[in-house]
Each structure stands twice: as C-alpha cells, then as structure tokens.
Chains A and B, each alone.
Chain A
Amino acid sequence: MLIKLAFRNIFRHFNRTFLTFLAIALGLMLLIIMDSMLSGIDQESFNKIINYETGHIKIFDKNYREDEENLPLDKSIEKPDSIIKALGKDPEVAGVTSRINFRIMLSNGVDQYPAVGIAVNPKDDQSVFLLKQALEKGRFFSKNDEETMLLGEGLAEDFGVDVGDYLTVLTRTKHDTYQALDLRIKGILKTEDPKIDWAAVVIPLGLGQASLDMGSAVTEIDIKLKNPNKTKEFRDRLAKDLTGFEVATWQDLASDVIAMSQAKRGGSVFLLFSVFLIALIGISNTILLAAFERTREIGMMAAMGMKRSQIIRLFVLEGAMIGVMGSIVGCLLAVLLNFPFVKYGLNWGFLMRDMGDIGYRVTGVSRGVWNINMIVGAFIFGIVVSAITSIYPARVASKMDPTEALKKI
C-alpha cells in the first residue's frame, strides 16, 4: 500500500522528480566511467612497468639503489651466471634474464639528447620482457655482440631517423672513461611506455659489457614469476638466500607510480563524491518541497490514523524510489558508455606528449576496464544514500500536527 502510494507520489511532479533523478543518474555514471578509465590507465601502466622495465622481481647489488638515479655501473652484480642458473631451476620462476642500465647521450652529430641505455641479453630477454614483440619496424638482435641498437619510436622521430640509419651513443664506462659507439638502428620500438619510447636505446648485452668495461657483470637480474600475485613472498624468500644483494618487487620499484595513482584516484573520487553530494542535496530538497506542498495531505493522512512512522516510511520510500531509478539508469548509461572505452579505448597521446613524463606509462590509447564491484557498489550506494537523505525531510513532514496541517486548507 505504502509502496504504491510512494510510487504515485513521485510522479505527481514529473519535472522535479526527473531533474533529481537525472542528477543521480549522471553522478553515478560519471563515477563508474571515471573509475573505469582510471583503473584502465593504472592497469596499463603497471603492465608496461612489468613488461618493459622491471619484470616481477629484480635483483641488484646491495648498494645500487641508493645511487639508482645515476644508474651506476660500479655497483653491479659481478657474477650473475650462477644466480641466473639457480633461478632458472626454481619451480616458481617463469623466466629470468639480466640487463645493464646506463646513462647515455644520443647524438646525430648535430643535436644531443640525454637518454637511457639498456643492454639486454638477446637469448633470454623475451622470457621476462616483451621488447621483441614491441618492435614496430626492423628486427631484434640475432647476436649478443652485434653493433646495432633498437631505438624508442619517440627518439627516432625526434632525430628523424629510421631502421638502417646510424646514431652515436655517448656514455661512460665503468671506470668513467668516455665511450662513443656509432650504432646502426636495427629496429624501432613502440611499447606505448614513455620510458622506452621516448628515452631508451637498447643494445645487446655482449656489446654493452665489452664497451662499458663490465666484464661479465650486469647491473640487474630480472625475474618473471609464474604466479604474479606472489611477488612479495618470493622476494622475501629470495632475500634470505642471497646475501650482498637487494631483491625488490615491481611494486617496490614502482612505488612512486603506485602512490601517485592512489593519490590521483583519491582526488578524483573526492571530486565525484562532491558532484554526487550535490545530487543528493537535490533529492533532499525534492522530498522536503514535496513535504511542504503536501501539508494538507499529511494532515489528512494523520487525521485518518496514519502513524508517524508510516509517514516517515512513505517519504523515505519516495526518496529511495528516485534513487532506484537514478541508479538503474545511471548504471545502464555507464555500462553502455563503457563498452566503447573498453573495446576501443581513449587516445591520450595528444595530452601525454605535451605533459611530458608524469609517471604514467601510457602514451597512446588506454582502455577502460569492467569493474563489477564498482558498478554494483555505485548502484547500492545510490539507493541507500537517496533513502538516507530523505529521512530528514520525512521527519519534518511527520512532525506536522494534523490539526495545524489541516488548517492550511
């Protein structure tokens, strides 16, 4: 009976109800879409970091990370082979490789740009990283000591070079002596990870070791796990076995990106919550207006014996119903809109290039994700909060004295 009454009541002022409902629907839709995009960017960033930069676990010399900014070559792993061999036999390890990271200046004889050199092992780099798959043009290294390089697409564009052209890599050896290598570009990398595309020069490990005076040393050992959710457990186990080294998970290494994404997300959720709050004030206002408008009616209902609690329930029900409709439509709109975001994504390229390196590893298209928890959560949130916000106006309505109320006829 109450439900029927409430349902009819909310349509007595269609325009007002519609506006309130629209505010809730749009608020919810924005919340869900924003969450989808942000989660998409996060997921994409984390995947890029794992697939091109860190793997799941990294091993360094124990003093490496205090000087990490400078990519020091003298804090290296002198004999990586035995560790790599042992890790290869570990049942939890899916792949293991080693790399040297070093600072370079890339030059074409006219201009000079700072960049990062990465010496990768052509034999096993693919077991951890996806560089080979990210080749847009050209080919991957076939020999460990060939004098060629793979160049990030952004750098290639800046220099106006292509596969087959030469650039000079200027760097310092382990002993700080200048080293300059004229290398032919064998491939162009397009990873959509700005740390690679805009800043990386990849050379074979053998060439790196020889030209940087590294002997058989590397600066890091990179590990891919079979179960990517067990990074912390694996790190702790490995750290116990290896002394003189530092073991870090990709989460440890990308802590700045993770912290930033959380801060950003906190910020946007707060913003959206404010939007939503305005929508809720709308509900409260609609119900309150209805209560005052229907003073006579309330008086009449009370006079006919309707209890205070029943009056409260009636108005709360009205609020909840607007909430239900808003939530249903909001979620439906969000789902409809999220389809193209998930399927085709949104191209941030124009934005990211101008902003420069802000930590996110996304340079081009980023896709949305389906976050069922978020959709269901938003749906329930919409209804519950609408109902709660109508409690106050409902109480105001219920407090009306029937005789006073009836006087207003």
Chain B
Amino acid sequence: MRYKFVFWILILFSISYLGFSASGITGDEIINEVDKNMTFTSARMESKMLIHVGKQVRTKKMISYAQGKDKSFAKFTSPARDKGVKYLKIGDNMWMYLPSVDKIIKIAGHMLRQSMMGSDFSYEDALESNKLLEKYKVTLIGQDEKSYILELTAKVKKVTYYKRKIWVDKRTFIPTREELFAKSGKKLKVMTMGEVKRFGRRYYPTYMTIENLLRRDSKTELFTTKAQFDIRIPAGIFSQANLKK
C-alpha cells in the first residue's frame, strides 16, 4: 500500500516535470525574459503614486529616467511638500536630495530599510529586485493557463526576502504577481502588476501595487501615466550634480 503511494507520487512528479520541460523553458530563462522586458536601454516615465495608510490616501507624482539596469533617476513634482525631492541610483549606490535642507544624502546601512517617501516600498526593495538571479535559486514550480509560477529561494545569506514567488505571464513575460516571504515562510508583502501596454516591441505594466500584509489597509499603488522607451536621455541626468539642480 505504502509502495503504491510512493509510486503514484513518483508518477505524478515525473509527469509534472515532463510538462515543464516540454514547454522547454527553465526558471532562469523566464527570469531572463522578464529582465529583458523590464529593463530598457533608456526610458522616461511619468508616474503617480497613491499611498494608502488606513483610510487616508496620499498622492505623489514623479518623473523618472532609467538607463540600462544600473542607472535611474527620479524627481518628485507634487505635492508641494515633496516637490523637488530627487533620487539617484547608480549600481548599488543610492542618493537622495532634499530641497528643504539643500542636502544630498547617501542612502546606506540602516537607511536602506526605510520606506521610500512613506510608501510600502523600501529602498532595498528597489535595489534588490535587479539582482534576482545572483541572489536566488529559481525553480519553476507550476503553471496555469496564463502564467508560469516561479519560486525563488535565497542562495546567498545576505538577502532581504528569503523566498519570493513570482507569477509570470506566458505571453508577454511580464510578472503579474510577486509574493515576498520572511525566512520563517510567512508572507510579508504582495506586489501585483497589470494594465500591460505595448510600447513598440515591448510590453510594460503601467499599474503596480504593493501591499504590506502585516498592516491593515497599507497599500501603495503606482500608475505610469506616460512612458517613452529607447529615447535619448539628456547628458548629465545620472549625476550627483543633477540632484542639486
């Protein structure tokens, strides 16, 4: 009886394994495809961030530029309180400019854990999402009609989230949902992405949410209102001098 049970498990296992290999794609390849979609030679975007805290909603608007995987720059344009706050990211380094004190602050150490402009994103969330393949072992754990389901488990010690689970759209290779887990296995945050639009030859999600599961009604929404890809970015955008301009 027991052997029979093990046998069935094995059969099921190999069928599902065959299923995945039949589609001929591995977890790493899927992540690579996603990366291709989500990074761009260059881009300029205008976005709106809605931060929900309890019943309150705060809206912030920003303009951002990105080049490749390593360089990005964001400037907040509203509300008045945050106008002129700028962020610059080059590789692993991040700086912030606060116009109220006219100072450039390097975001490092414990500051990385803080939330970005009061949202549910932390700075390290922003830094780490670029390096999934370096830090995680990717396993394709299943698929449904629409998406591949990947499980990422930390292969290095220094990671913010020990486990991630990512749903990737089969057609567009856009991640539609990501769950972030603590080491104990408890789910901490959920990100969803949607409103995928076509920009030339690429797809890009123009709506994104992140929800903190340990706090009720704590959610941040990000709408991309305007996006231009593969454009020429004015020289000097990704420099510390530009932060103070």
Which residue numbers of A lie inside 8 Å of B, CB to CB?
Answer: 70, 105, 107, 109-112, 168, 170, 172-173, 175-182, 211, 213
Chain B neighbourhood of A173, CB < 8 A: 183
Contact A182 B157 (CB under 8 A): no
Please choose the segment from B21-29, B30-38, B72-80, B159-167 that sits at the chain A interface, where 4 or more of its residues have CB less than 8 A away: B159-167
How close is A201's CB to chain B, nearest CB, in angstroms?
A: 15
CA distance A178 to B44 in the complex (A): 32
How close is A56's CB to chain B, nearest CB, in angstroms?
A: 31
Contact A112 B188 (CB under 8 A): no
CA distance A408 to B186 in the complex (A): 99
* B184 contacts A by Cβ under 8 Å: yes
Contact B154 A180 (CB under 8 A): no
Name the contact of A110 in the complex, choosing from B154, B181, B184, B215 (C-beta under 8 A): B215
Q: Mark B181-198, 1 if CB is under 8 A from A, else 0.
A: 111101010000000000
With A109-B216, A170-B214, A175-B157 in contact, do A182 and B186 touch (Cβ < 8 Å)? yes
Contact A109 B214 (CB under 8 A): yes
Chain A neighbourhood of B160, CB < 8 A: 176-178
Chain A neighbourhood of B188, CB < 8 A: 170, 178, 180
Contact A105 B159 (CB under 8 A): no
Contact B215 A179 (CB under 8 A): no
Contact A177 B184 (CB under 8 A): no
Which residue numbers of B lie inside 8 Å of A, CB to CB?
Answer: 110, 113, 154, 157-162, 180-184, 186, 188, 213-216
How close is A209's CB to chain B, nearest CB, in angstroms?
A: 13
Ranked nearest first, the 6 interchain pairs of A and B with the lowest CB-CB distance are A180-B182, A180-B186, A107-B214, A175-B157, A110-B216, A178-B182
How close is A211's CB to chain B, nearest CB, in angstroms?
A: 7
How close is A118's CB to chain B, nearest CB, in angstroms?
A: 19
With A177-B159, A180-B188 in contact, do A112 and B183 touch (Cβ < 8 Å)? no
Chain A neighbourhood of B159, CB < 8 A: 175-177
With A177-B161, A178-B162 in contact, do A170 and B215 touch (Cβ < 8 Å)? no
Name the contact of A178 in the complex, choosing from B110, B158, B161, B215 (C-beta under 8 A): B161
CA distance A238 to B72 in the complex (A): 52
CA distance A178 to B180 in the complex (A): 10
Chain A neighbourhood of B154, CB < 8 A: 177
Q: Tell which of B188, B213, B214, B215 has the most Cβ of chain A within 10 Å.
A: B214
Contact B161 A70 (CB under 8 A): no
Chain A neighbourhood of B216, CB < 8 A: 109-111
Chain A neighbourhood of B181, CB < 8 A: 178
